[in-house]
Structure 1
């Protein structure tokens, strides 16, 4: 499946290939902190299939909880996180951040990893009232 994506400001754009439903959710504490959210959802792109069609992302290399060094790609202007991949520039496998993928609604996560770090309130989220806009006080 061909997918496209971009950062919030549109400075960085890319295209990639992924198998349908090749998505997962990571609950590790690093993903929680780096996304400023309860987890991070990613679509795994086929190896070496990501092509940046506009702009070049900045990268920050961190050591993951697994001990692996992971390059975190983001837009240097708006700060949108775009991916994580191996540190080496060759044979890259990208975990594309699902929020930056245009076709994000076509993917359903098939696995959750680092489940022991899942925030306790997530299991009851479906019981929290939901609104289409910000509720008025």
Structure 2
């Protein structure tokens, strides 16, 4: 599926080709903090299927519990989180933040990762199979 999107202020725009069946929810505590809410919804895109159309995102390097370094990309003007990807060489997957995707109403998450960290007051998300970790 072809998607496009932008940050809130429009300074950064992108397009990508994704598989809608791969859209996922992450309940990990990092995603809660980095998104400023209860969980994050992500649409993965291979590096060759993602293209910036306008602007250059700011980057924050986050080291995961596993020791892997992840690039968190966001708009330096409005602060919108745009995507995360691995640092370094090799084929990368861009985890596009669903809130920035124009077609987000068409994307239903199919799985939930790190469900053991889900906030207890969240209602059941029946459309997405839940896994305690990744």
TM-score, normalised via structure 1 length: 0.85
Match of 1:26 in 2: 26
Aligned-partner Cα distance in 2 for 1:90–1:51: 17
How big is the shift at 1:91? 2.2
Aligned-partner Cα distance in 2 for 1:27–1:65: 15
Superposed CA RMSD in Å reads 1.6
Which of 1 and 2 has greater Rg? 1
Question: Which 5+ residue runs of structure 1 have no aligned equivalent?
Answer: 126-137
Match of 1:54 in 2: 54
Moved over 6 A (4+): none
How big is the shift at 1:72? 0.3
Number of aligned residue pairs: give it. Answer: 125
How big is the shift at 1:65? 3.3
How big is the shift at 1:98? 0.2
Match of 2:131 in 1: none
For 1:86-132, what per-residue CA distance to the aligned partner results, in whole angstroms no more than 9, with x for missing partners?
Answer: 1126522101000000111111111100111000000279xxxxxxx
1:17·1:45 contact (CA, 8 Å) conserved in 2? yes
1:19·1:46 contact (CA, 8 Å) conserved in 2? no
Aligned-partner Cα distance in 2 for 1:77–1:30: 22
CA spacing shift, 1:62–1:79, aligned 2, 3 Å: same
Match of 1:114 in 2: 114
Question: Which 5+ residue runs of structure 2 have no aligned equivalent?
Answer: 126-134
